[in-house]
A and B are shown apart, each in its own frame.
Chain A
Amino acid sequence: MRPAFSSTKQAALFTFIVFFVLLLPILLLPGILPSRSENYLTQGWTTFGNLPYLSRQIFQEKTDVDVAFVGASKVWEGVDTSYVQQKLSERLGRPAVVRTIAWGGSGFDTFFFVVRDLLENRKVKMVVFDDASEESNYPHPLTHYWFRFDEDAKEISGFPTQIQLDYYFAAILGAPRLLLDLCRSNIPCEIREPDTKLWGNGSYLTNQLGSVAMQQGFCRPSKTLREYPKLDPFVPVTGAQPSDCVLYSAETKNQFEFSEGTIPQWQINFARQFAALVIEKHAKLVQLHIPDLGDIGHFAIPERTFWPDSLRANVAMIGIPPGKLFGGLKEEEALKLFADPVHLNQNGQQYFTPLVTPKILQLYETATNN
C-alpha cells in the first residue's frame, strides 16, 4: 500500500489546505461579503420554496406589510393569503398588504434569519407564525446559505458546543459560494409558476402572495417516494364557526393543552430572538395553531409549549379546538383535508382560512388602533 503522502511537502500542502478551509469563516471578514439578498439568489428554490419570491418581498418591495404569515411549510400551505388580504382590504377600506413568507423545512433557526431580513427591510404591522420548531438537534439543511459567520456568530453564542460546531461547519460549507459571489453578482430569477412536480412530488397552486395550495389527496409519506392521489374536492360539513377560533386567555385556557419538553433549548433560543426582534420592531406577534392530523381526537388545541413563556414575549395565541374543527367528520372525511399527516391540502386550506380570518383581523385592528 502506498503511503497517504508521497513526500513531506505534499503532506504539508494537504495540511495547509485543510487548515485554510477550516479557517475560512474567520478569514471572510465582515464587510467584504456580498449582501444578504444574494443568499436568496443562490439556493435551489425548487427544493425549499419560492425563494425568488421571498427575495423580492424582502429586499425589493418597500410598502408596509399589514400582516405577514411567516414560517415553515405548515404556514406556507395552511393559510390562503389572498383570502385574508381580500377580507382585510374590505375591513380597512383600502388595499391591504398581506404576505406569506414561508419555505420548506422546519426549525426556528432559519425562521429567525429570514424574519430578521424581512423586518430589517420592511415595516410589518403584524407577524403571524406557527410552531416551526425542529425536534432533532440538527440545523436546517440549508443553514450553509442562511448562516454567515461574520454576521451571525453572536446569534449562536451560548449554544451547546455541538450546535455551535454544526453552524461553524455550515459556514465553511457556504464559503465557496460566498467567494464566488464576490467575483460576480447573481442574476435575479424570474418568479414563475412552479412546475407540476415542484416542492416534493405533489401539485401546487400558487396565489402570488406567497402561499401555496397543495392540490392532492392524502398520502402518508414513505421513506423514499411519495405518490399523492388526485385532489378530491371536498367541503366538510361541521358545526365549526369563526366564533370557535379562540384567543388564549384566562377564560379560554381550558381550550388549550400544552405538552412541554420536546423542543431543544437552542431552538427555543432562536424563537426567543425572533420574538424579541418582532417586539423591538413594534409589530404584533400572533401564534396561529394550524392543525395537523395528530390533532384529531384532541378536544383542546394541542401546543408543544406555552409560547408566551417560552418566547418570553407577549404572544397572542389563537386556534380552533380540534373537537370543533373536525367535529362530526368521519376519519376518511378528515383525511380529505390533508395532503399528508402534517400539511393541509387545498380542501383543508379553504376550510380553515375563513374560520380563523375574522380573529386575525380583530387582532390586527386591536394592535394597530393601539
Chain B
Amino acid sequence: MRCMAGVARESILAALNLAGVFFFLFYGGKEHFALRFGIYVVLIVALYLVLLLFSEKRGLWPWVAFFAPIVALIVIRYVPGSFYIALGNVLGKTWRGVPQMIGISYLAFRCSRLVLEIRNGVVKKPNFLEYLNFAFFLPTMSVGPINTYANYRRGFDSTYEVPVGRAALRILVGAVKYQFLGNLCNQLTYSGLLLDDHPHHWMDLPVAMLFYYLYLYLNFSGFCDMAIGAAALIGIPVPENFENPFAARNVKDFWNRWHITLSTWMRDVVFSPLSKYFVGKFGIKLADHAITLTIVIVFLLVGIWHGAGWNFLAFGAMHALGVVVNHYYTIFLKKRLGRDGFKAYNSNRSIHVLAVALTFCYCAASFIFFANTFSEIMRIFGELK
C-alpha cells in the first residue's frame, strides 16, 4: 500500500477500514452489529456534510462543525440507556441500552480537531474518501492515539517510510505487552484480585493499585505500539502516546508522558484558549488562579471523556487536584527559593527520586476511580479485613 498513491490508495484504504470496522463489530459478538455499523457510516457521512457546510464559513459557523462530532459523542455515550430502550420500544426494537460504539471518543476528537486545522489553514479540506479514511483509520480506530489530520496526511503527501522490520518489531513488542504481560498483571488488579467476592487483607489494596497501573500501561501502550507499527507499515505516521510515564516527577509531568495525544488535544483545544479567556476576564493579577480554574475544567473534561460515570469525574478531579497542588507548589518554590534555588531544587537527585515515587503512588491510587464504579469501590472496601 505504501507504493500506491492517489485515489487508488484512498479507495483501497477505505475498503480496508470499512471492512475492519465491520469485522470489529461482527466478531466482537456485539448485538445489532449491522445497525451499529450503519450508525457509524451514517455518522461519518453526516459529519462530513457538516464539515463541508460550515468549516470554512466566517463567524461562529465553524464551531458548528467543531462541536458536531462532540455532540454525537455526547448523544451516543452519555445519554442514559433508558432513553435508547424507550426509543427502541417506540420503533418496535429490543434495544438493551446505550449502543457500544467502539472508538467513538477518539473518532469525535479526531474529527473535531480537523475543523480547527482547516479553519487555521493548516490543512486543505479533505474529500469524502480522505475524510472517511481519517475518521475510520483502522489502526487507531479503537483506542488511538489521536492523530492530527496534518500529521496523518504526511503519509500521503510526502514520503514516510519506516523499515518494515522496525515496524514489525514495534508490533511484536506491543502484542507481547498487550496480550501477554498485560493479561498477567491483570490477575492482580481490582477485577482479578479484589472483586472476587472473597474477603481480602488490606495489603491487597496497594497490590491491586500497583498491578492495575502496570496492567493499564501495558495494555494501552501495547495497543498503541501495535497501532503505530501497523500504521507505519502502510506508510501513515501516528504520534507517540507514551513517554515512560512511571518516571514522571509530578502529575503535570505525568500527563506529558501518559496518553500524550489526549493531553495535547486538551492543551491546544481547551486549555490554551480557555486560560487566555480567563486571564483576560479576571486580569493578570489573578492569572495564577485563572490557570487553576482552567486546569480543573480541563481535567474534569478529561475524566468525563474517559467514560460516562461519576467515577470518571472523580478520576479527573483527583488529577486536577494533583496538577493544581503542583501548580501552587511551583509558584511557592519559585517565590521562596528564587530562580537559581528553584533550578537547584529541580536538579536535586533525592528530591527527584522522592517526587517520582510520590507521583507513582498518587497516579496508581487515582486509577481506582478509572477502573471501578463507586459501587464496586464500596464492594472492594467492604471486603477488606
Binding site for B on A (CB under 8 A): 1-5, 14, 17-18, 21, 41-46, 52, 144, 172-177, 180, 183-184, 186-190, 222-225
Contact B184 A224 (CB under 8 A): no
Show the binding face of B for A, using Cβ within 8 Å. 29-31, 96, 162, 166-167, 169-170, 172-173, 176, 180-181, 183-185, 187-188, 192-193, 195-201, 203-204, 207, 211, 225, 228-229, 232, 237-238, 240, 385
Closest B residue by C-beta to A195: B197
Task: Please tell me which one of the listed residues A2, A14, A45, A222 contacts residue B198 in the complex, with CB atoms under 8 A apart.
Answer: A45
Kindly list chain A residues whose C-beta atoms are within 8 Å of the C-beta of B162. Answer: 1
Given contacts A18-B181, A176-B187, A177-B193, 16 further A-B contacts (CB under 8 A): A3-B170, A4-B170, A4-B229, A14-B173, A18-B180, A21-B180, A42-B196, A42-B198, A172-B184, A173-B184, A177-B188, A186-B198, A187-B198, A188-B199, A222-B31, A225-B31
Q: How far is the CA of A137 from the CA of B188 in the complex (A)?
A: 27
Sample of 5 A–B contacts (CB below 8 Å): A4-B166, A43-B196, A52-B198, A173-B183, A225-B31
Partner of A173, one of B96, B187, B199, B229: B187
Decide if B169 touches A187 in the complex (CB within 8 Å). Answer: no
Question: Contacts A43-B196, A187-B385 known; A1 to B188 CB distance under 8 Å?
Answer: no
Alpha-carbon gap, A328 to B30, bound state (A): 40
Contact between B207 and A180, CB atoms less than 8 A apart: yes
Contacts of A18 in B (CB 8 A): 176, 180-181
Closest CB in chain B relative to A122 CB, distance in Å: 23
Q: Is the CB of A4 within 8 A of B30?
A: no
Determine if A41 and B198 form an interchain contact, defined as CB atoms under 8 angstroms apart. Answer: yes
Interface centre among A180, A189, A223 (most CB of B within 10 A): A180
Query: Would you call A224 and B197 a contact (CB within 8 A)?
Result: no
List of B residues within 8 angstroms of A190 by Cβ = 199
CA distance A276 to B169 in the complex (A): 49
Nearest 3 pairs between A and B by C-beta?
A: A44-B196, A187-B199, A4-B173
Nearest to B244 among chain A residues (CB) is A6
**Would B166 and A3 count as touching, CB distance under 8 A?**
yes
| B195 lies within 8 A of A44 (CB) | yes
Q: How distant is the Cα of A17 from the Cα of B229 in the complex, in angstroms? A: 22
A45 contact from B173, B196, B385, Cβ within 8 A: B196
Minimum C-beta distance from B72 to chain A (A): 24
- Residue numbers in A under 8 Å from B229 (CB-CB): 1, 4
